[in-house]
Amino acid sequence: MEGDKELRNRAKATDAGIGAGTIVVLILLLVSLIVLVVALARNPAPAIRIKGQIKGLGAETKVAFEVSDPGHRIRRVDVSVSQEGHSFAVPHEEAQFGEGPRPWWKFWAPRGENSLSVVAMAGRKTLPELHEGRATLVIEATNDSWGRFFRGGRSQVLLDLPVRFTPPRADVLSIHHYINQGGAELVVFRVSPGTIESGVEVGRLTFPSWPVKESTPEIRFALFALPYDSSPAAPIRIVAGDEVGNRTLADFQYRIFPRQFHKDTIQVTDEFMNRVVPPIMSQTPGLEDQGSLVKNFLLVNGHLRAAQAEKLVELSHQTHPQFLWTEPFIELPSKVEAAFADYRTYVYNGQAIDHQTHLGFDLAGFEHMPVRAANDGAVVLADFFGIFGNAVLLDHGCGLQTLYGHLSSIEVKAGESVRRGQEIGKSGQTGLAGGDHLHFTVLLDGIPINPTEWWDPHWIHDRIEAKLAPYK
Ligand SMILES: [Zn+2]
């Protein structure tokens, strides 16, 4: 009996032991399951950041945004517009930027941020079913995490927006528009409310407009140029765009006067190249020795000249939104050695080795003559500047700038204000210069234009002042 009882007790104890272990295991399993469910139910979603403000949908509305995820690959991005129960997918383009995600096998490396830059055109042009009223723009981004029970973490942005297709209006107010090839002209026009950008389109170029005065932002003027190398047949018209992507093209009356430009020959000697090419090469980072003096000269005269033309367009954005000047531009009292848009043939040892167009005036006086600011303005650049040697670039407002090249010394600093006639340096022969002279260029939005118009008080009065006066 005793032995029996003992056996039973032991059995009971063993039973109790198995029971406790099972419970612990079950609890652990349950906890793991809860952790797993919570982990899978989580939504570690990518972040969506819209660039700019989307104020509505129009004919062609640009929707630009970035999607980024610090830990997962972005699996898909969807853009759609829904209106009255219908949903329309919007085609879009994605571009990866940043370091990109870590490959799955490279577990020791940092995870890396996965970022996409996305652009969609969400207007009527891509969605012909869209009609005026209201609509919802839907942006969704999904990653490849195990979140939302293996469907991936997802984020969504919904924007309720007005839909409008009426294009902005642009009514021309000025009359008599005369354009010399290589020169500039001004047009005054009124835009309808909601217009956020307007200007004049000349072929492939667009010249922006500016308010004539701050209190009437809808009355605008645009200075525009017909570049020396543009076809006189290139259409010139006013363009206006509103905040939801509707655009207007408006015609106006104008007359073009085609011009013939001079041709010139420049003899290039070893002595000249030896003097000018090495200093330019050594002061311009990124220019590689081509192995011969002539090849280096051609690199400077061609490649560097073109790169500097682009740089001048970039610098033209550093402009004031008003004219900084009130009087005509001044010309240095000196001899004109070369005029605007002279077509130059470079001859070396009796052979034509290059052709370039000279897009300014060469003014020669005496050695180290004082160089004066052509008008009131602000210094944009005062530094060594490639083929122009030591140069000063002045901003006169509304995209109008003047460049002074080949200086022996510079007497102003970037950011400074200058007065008309103020000495800004001394003439010299730095850069691509055959002798001591001033190279002078007038630029509109970085495009070289003929300076003679700006030196002419009658032209300034008729083409600029008389047109702006009624709206000031
Ligand atoms: Zn020149």
Which tens digits make up the pLDDT trace of 368-410?
999 999 999 999 999 999 999 999 999 999 999 999 999 999 9
Residue 21 lies in a domain: no
Statement to judge: residues 150 and 215 lie in one domain: no
Assess whether 255 and 290 both reside in one domain. no
For residues 227 and 345, state if they share a domain.
Answer: no
CA of 363 to the centre of ligand 1 (A): 8
Which residues does 153 contact at the CB level (< 8 Å), separation at least 6? 42, 43, 44, 45, 46, 69, 72, 142, 143, 145, 147
Amino acid 152: pLDDT: 85
**Cα-to-centroid distance, 153 and ligand 1 (Å):** 62
Q: Do 185 and 158 belong to one domain?
A: no
Average pLDDT value for residue range 190-211? 95
Res 279 pLDDT > 50: yes
CA of 289 to the centre of ligand 1 (A): 24
Other C-beta atoms within 10 Å of 22: how many? 10
CATH code, domain with 156: 2.60.40.2910
Q: Are residues 270 and 412 in the same domain?
A: yes
Q: Are residues 406 and 269 in the same domain?
A: yes
Distance 439 CA to ligand 1 centre (A): 4
Beta-carbon neighbour count of residue 112 at 10 Å? Answer: 17
- Give yes or no: residues 65 and 119 share one domain: yes
Say what percent of the chain tops pLDDT 90: 76
Q: Residue 102 has what pLDDT?
A: 63
Do residues 226 and 234 lie in contact, with contact meaning Cβ atoms separated by under 8 Å? yes
Instruction: Calculate how far, in angstroms, residue 266's C-alpha sits from the geometric centre of ligand 1.
Output: 12
- Count of C-beta atoms within a 10 Å radius of residue 469: 10
Pick from 225, 259, 293: which residue ends a domain?
259
Q: Give pLDDT, residue 13.
A: 47
Number of domains in the chain: 3
234 is a domain residue: yes
Rounded CA-CA distance 302/308 in Å is: 10
CA 406 to ligand 1 center in whole angstroms? 8
CATH number at residue 208: 2.60.40.10
CA–centroid distance, 207 to ligand 1, in Å, is 25
Task: Show Cβ contacts of residue 347 under 8 Å, excluding neighbours closer than 6 positions.
Answer: 265, 266, 267, 268, 353
**Sign of the Cα pseudo-torsion (328, 333, 336, 342, in order):** negative
Closest of 167, 169, 224, 210 to residue 191, by C-alpha: 169
pTM comes to: 0.80
- Judge if 389 and 306 occupy the same domain: yes
Final residue belonging to a domain, choices 116, 135, 163:
163
List the domain range (segments joined by +) for residue 67.
Answer: 47-163
Residue 440 falls inside a structural domain? yes
Tell me: pLDDT of 103 over 70: no
Does some domain include residue 372? yes
Helices (H) then strands (E): counts for the chain: 8, 31
Query: Under a CB-based contact definition with an 8 Å cutoff, are residues 330 and 249 in contact?
Result: no
pLDDT digits (tens, 9 = 90+) for 8-25: 555 454 555 567 888 999
Ligand 1 centre distance from Cα of residue 392 (Å): 14
Q: What is the whole-number distance in angstroms between the Cα of residue 405 and the centre of ligand 1? A: 8
Tell whether 88 is covered by a domain: yes
Instruction: Give the pair of three-digit tokens for residue 408.
Output: 């022996």
> What is the CA(311)–ligand 1 centre distance, in A?
17
Do residues 250 and 302 both lie within one domain?
no
CB-based contact 404:371 (threshold 8 Å): yes
Does 128 map to a domain?
yes
- Cα(201) to ligand 1 centroid in Å equals 28
Q: Cα(414) to centroid of ligand 1, in Å? A: 22
Distance in Å, CA 338 to ligand 1 centroid: 7
Which of 141-150, 167-176, 380-389 has the lowest average pLDDT?
Answer: 141-150
- Candidate from 28-42, 57-71, 356-370, 383-397 with smallest mean pLDDT: 28-42
pLDDT above 90 for 185: yes
